[in-house]
Structure 1
Amino acid sequence: MRKLTRARCRNLWSSVAMLIGITVPASHIAFAQSAPPATNVGHGAKIADGGRGVPLAPDQKMELALKITQPFTVVAVGDLLEFQPFAMTNDPRTAGLVKRMREADITVGDFENEIYDFDNFGHAGGNLATKEVADDWVRMGIDIVSRANNKPTRAPGIWENFRQVERVGITHVGVARSLPEARMARYVATPKGLVGEIGVSADGGLDACCSGGQIVIVTPAQLEAVRAIRDSILSRRSEVEVPVADPVPEPAGSLSVFGVTFRLPGVDAPAPKATGAEAVYREVPPGPQDAYKNSLHVTLYQGVTAAQMATLREIARDSGHGDLHAFGTRFRIMDQPGEHSFDMNPADLKDILVQVRTAKQASDLLILNAHWHQNRYDFQAYSHDHFPADFEIAFAHAAVDQGVDVFVAQGVHTIKGVEIYHGKPIFYGVSNFVFQSALMPQGKGKLPPVPGRAETGEAGPAPQLAAGAEAAPEVPQDGIVGEHERQGFWQLKANLEALLVESVFNEGRLKEVRLHPIDLGQTPRPGSQVGVPRIPEMKVAKKILDEVVEYSKPFGTHIVIENGVGIIRL
């Protein structure tokens, strides 16, 4: 190959220029003949500024702080148990709430129903909502929803749910195709900064008095001692708003408590079944196409007195001390019988907090949505507590310590208190924002089999009725009864009130919290309107806010009520 000398390059360039019709000035040709060859030798040894633009180890106090300095409002609402749209209403009681949601910088809620396109998706399910409900959420201004709750993560339905909210531009968090992805935050960009959210579901520990289970043979004296323990728990039912129902009758010589059936020798009868909530929400391993949920697993400890613990140790033939693990149940000495204590799974807790910290480093404002149903008491009906369990406080504090700016929870279908912790709001329970319980469809079609469960064809257990709850009316055998005539076990007044909460930030810190009470049916309504959120009349608003004030007292939260709104000023 001939060497490309400078003269040959000059001749080639002249030839190319002639071919394409370019006239090359003689001065350019002369410059090309005299210019030295380009070289980088001797350059780059000097750097204008050798310092780092970003430190190798950034200041974590700054990284975990709120980074949005402009005025910024976060609106959070609770469970979205919506089955038919309503947000386009001209009723000012509902339109006023929708207006607040739309005007916020970011609005979040909990994805509690099943949204399907019935014309193009044939899967069965429960809590079924038409696809237009997703469009309704957009009308409300909802930006992010958490699916980390006690609703199914089974395929193919879960992916249809996500297709519908993605179709309308809503971001979903808390459930994904792998556990690491489910634990991660997802983000929404706003004009004022990047907002992240993580969704977490507290799973386990739903047992309540007085379910049965493993059969344990005892002596007559031990059976009477266990009966005294159970009766000491049931004697406290008057302490709570919605207590458990009376125990299921059992044959002589048999007694169930703590999910254990204690029996005298020779008694032959089936043990009472587990409580409805524990059975319905029992976890099963996901199948290959199923989704994974960001779960914080908790272990329930049944509280007993020291004397009662001695009785249980004798039956278990355990000579140890401290907590007792026996009969498939865990016991812990507490001040009074019937208390609940929960331990968080340490691996879950660490993984979640790592992702919380990571998400805050990557975002300007971070929200955590928690979904929990655990009660503090064994004598309290499922999902009716107004105060957080011990682990809920510990988890909320740990999340804020790792960078969460707004912690909002729901699940329990009642209102809980508000805490301001290190300048950040913790809403322990905002209840249901939409609760169309009188429209809740019954399950339709045949569901796919659940891995690890036999197909018996039997309906699952119904949630445990609270003490004094009304059973469905008797219907003639040949009577025609609509599905919604038998609904209503969640229609206590405590279940038909909620909060829309506004967290107002400015100059990088929380300035004010506004608690807007919501009436979901405090006074009689037609079934088609039950659970549609409305601004309550002043008398009802004061009642709801007075309750929030009471529930917030353990945290020292100062709430003033002005014009039907609860205000926390910092």
Structure 2
Amino acid sequence: MNSHDDNTRPSVQQDDGFDTVGSIETNVADGFTMAAVGDLLLARPVTKGHHPGLADVLRIFQKADVTFGNLETNILDVQSKGFPQAACNCVSAPELGPDLKAMGFNMVSRANNHALDWGLEGMRETSRALDESGIVHAGAGENLAQAGAARFLETARGRVALVSFAASFKPMARACNAAGEAPGRPGLNALRLTKSIVVPPAIFESLRRLRDILPGYKPSKQDRSCVVLDFEMKFEMGEKAGYCFDANPRDVADILRNLRRGKQFSDFCIVTNHGHQPGEWSQESPDYEQSFARKLIDSGADAYIVHGPHQLRGLEIYKGRPIFYSLGNFFCEDLRTPAGADFFDAYGKDPRVHTDAELNVDEMAIGYPTLEGFIAPLSDAVYYESVVAVSRFERNQLAELRLYPIELGRLKRFANRGVPSLATAPQARVILERLQRLSEPFGTQIAIENDVGVIRLKPDASM
């Protein structure tokens, strides 16, 4: 576990000497508990269906003040509302809103790469469904100010804020504010990243020579440190091949401001990011993530939760606050229907011949389509294994973190796959030992007790 000399987090003083408005300190009653999971990919209500083991998982939520997940779908009646506006589209029945509430969810993030799969009507219908079910949601709105704003949940142990943003999103899904006469654009709260491909010196020199002979090339000062081809692929020189990411400073400033406002109006603030970087295949976070996560905690976040890679990544305890670098999937019930014509085209299928189910099975086996091709098959066991993370706070610091291993029925028939149940003892150990290994680079030590991962901290310990 990481050790830090100073466990206090500074307050921003006002001119009159009072710091109550600018304080970033946590202010919840002892025993405050946050249950957190990753992606909610489901197309139908499940609580009344035949899903052995689901009730045991949902009982974990019962004592939580806030239960959080990432809603990676749209909730609407597709017979009368919207139409698919993405090749790979996620949609759920209207009954899902009340069903999520029945499961125990009271906070969900909306900023993700599927937020506008059914266009603005789908986004708005999803907001309406969540509002009617009494589920607080953040990350999508009629302009950037609304999409980026913190949203609030009242609990018996304190008021909870949620700030949601996405580092993975479709280009025109990004919300914008008004600019002059141009009105604001509805969409999601985005964190734009500039991606560079790092290559060894010899390969970098070859790319430089290729660029220099391409028609229309004009030298610039930037050419010494990087090679840009077709304004799409940027190469930098390094010792080891890989990827690096730079966060847009303006987006970072907006997120930090929304975080500050969220904490000023609440007792506990959750910040959440949906990002697939560097790729679905990776169990390691992108290079920008750790320093950015720590900056969020330093600025007042009480928990930072990442989702998107569809598999577990490591976790870190920083200054007595949890950082989850990916919580994987909680639901992966991919009964994606109806599927749009573009979805069939992407896999070379004919909707007059093939069924939606056959298309979804292909997606899990091949990967889902993007402009760059197909991204990572999602049929391996790691995409069907995850944890429910339950964080309990005492004296406004994390006192205990419990990690309950779950599995999503990977070997079940298609109609029943993707719904969580508690992992059996052997599988639970496999999941937790993987999480131990992935968390070790962050200095995090996870004990395994009765097939549950446990981290205990002394409330007055320096983190």
Which TM-score tier does this pair reach, normalised by the shorter chain? Answer: 0.7 to 0.9
The residue aligned with 2:451 is 564
| Alpha-carbon displacement from aligned partner over 1:2-35 (angstroms, at most 9, x marks no partner) | xxxxxxxxxxxxxxxxxxxxxxxxxxxxxxxxxx
Report if the CA contact (8 A) 1:111-1:145 is conserved.
yes
The residue aligned with 2:107 is 144
Q: Is residue 283 from structure 1 mapped to residue 172 from structure 2 by the alignment?
A: yes
Instruction: Provide closer, same or farther for how the CA distance between residues 563 and 311 of structure 1 changes in structure 2, counting only shifts above 3 A.
Output: same
The residue aligned with 2:339 is 443
How far is the alpha carbon of 1:128 from its aligned partner?
2.0
How far is the alpha carbon of 1:458 from its aligned partner?
9.2
The residue aligned with 1:452 is none
Q: How do 1:379-458 residues align onto structure 2 when only pairs under 5 Å count?
A: 382-437=279-334, 439-444=335-340
How far is the alpha carbon of 1:111 from its aligned partner?
1.2
| CA distance, structure 2, for counterparts of residue 500 and residue 508 of structure 1 | 21
| CA distance, structure 2, for counterparts of residue 496 and residue 458 of structure 1 | 23
| CA distance, structure 1, for counterparts of residue 398 and residue 37 of structure 2 | 18
2:236 counterpart letter in structure 1: R
Question: Percent of aligned positions with the same letter in both sequences?
Answer: 30
How far is the alpha carbon of 1:363 from its aligned partner?
0.8
- For the residue of structure 1 that corresponds to 2:244, the secondary structure is strand
| CA distance, structure 2, for counterparts of residue 56 and residue 92 of structure 1 | 59
How far is the alpha carbon of 1:480 from its aligned partner?
6.5
Moved more, 84-93 or 177-186: 84-93
Q: How do 1:370-381 residues align onto structure 2 when only pairs under 5 Å count?
A: 370-375=273-278
Instruction: Provide closer, same or farther for how the CA distance between residues 90 and 284 of structure 1 changes in structure 2, counting only shifts above 3 A.
Output: closer
Report if the CA contact (8 A) 2:73-2:115 is conserved.
no
| Alpha-carbon displacement from aligned partner over 1:94-145 (angstroms, at most 9, x marks no partner) | 11211112321111111111111356x3322332211111111001111111
The residue aligned with 1:497 is 385
Instruction: Provide closer, same or farther for how the CA distance between residues 290 and 59 of structure 1 changes in structure 2, counting only shifts above 3 A.
Output: closer
Aligned length: 408
Unaligned runs of 5+ in 1: 1-53, 205-280, 376-381, 446-456, 463-471
Instruction: Provide closer, same or farther for how the CA distance between residues 479 and 111 of structure 1 changes in structure 2, counting only shifts above 3 A.
Output: closer
| CA distance, structure 2, for counterparts of residue 177 and residue 491 of structure 1 | 36
Moved more, 83-92 or 147-156: 83-92
| CA distance, structure 1, for counterparts of residue 288 and residue 267 of structure 2 | 27
| CA distance, structure 2, for counterparts of residue 460 and residue 345 of structure 1 | 34
The residue aligned with 1:111 is 71
Instruction: Provide closer, same or farther for how the CA distance between residues 88 and 58 of structure 1 changes in structure 2, counting only shifts above 3 A.
Output: farther
Report if the CA contact (8 A) 2:40-2:69 is conserved.
yes
Instruction: Provide closer, same or farther for how the CA distance between residues 425 and 484 of structure 1 changes in structure 2, counting only shifts above 3 A.
Output: same
Asked which structure has the greater CA Rg, the reply is 1
Q: Is residue 313 from structure 1 mapped to residue 200 from structure 2 by the alignment?
A: no
| CA distance, structure 2, for counterparts of residue 105 and residue 58 of structure 1 | 30
TM-score, normalised to structure 2's length? 0.82
| Alpha-carbon displacement from aligned partner over 1:269-319 (angstroms, at most 9, x marks no partner) | xxxxxxxxxxxx343677979622110000001001122222222333358
Q: 1:343 aligns with which of 246, 249, 253?
A: 246
Unaligned runs of 5+ in 2: 1-13, 177-182, 213-218, 365-377, 458-463
Q: 2:430 aligns with which of 539, 543, 547?
A: 543
Q: How do 1:71-470 residues align onto structure 2 when only pairs under 5 Å count?
A: 71-88=31-48, 93-118=53-78, 121-125=80-84, 126-153=89-116, 154-203=119-168, 281-283=170-172, 291-317=186-212, 320-328=223-231, 329-337=233-241, 339-375=242-278, 382-437=279-334, 439-444=335-340, 461=346
Instruction: Provide closer, same or farther for how the CA distance between residues 63 and 79 of structure 1 changes in structure 2, counting only shifts above 3 A.
Output: same
| CA distance, structure 1, for counterparts of residue 22 and residue 251 of structure 2 | 26
How far is the alpha carbon of 1:531 from its aligned partner?
0.5
| Alpha-carbon displacement from aligned partner over 1:428-472 (angstroms, at most 9, x marks no partner) | 1011111102x2224248xxxxxxxxxxx896646xxxxxxxxx9
Report if the CA contact (8 A) 2:33-2:66 is conserved.
yes
| CA distance, structure 1, for counterparts of residue 21 and residue 401 of structure 2 | 24
RMSD: 2.7
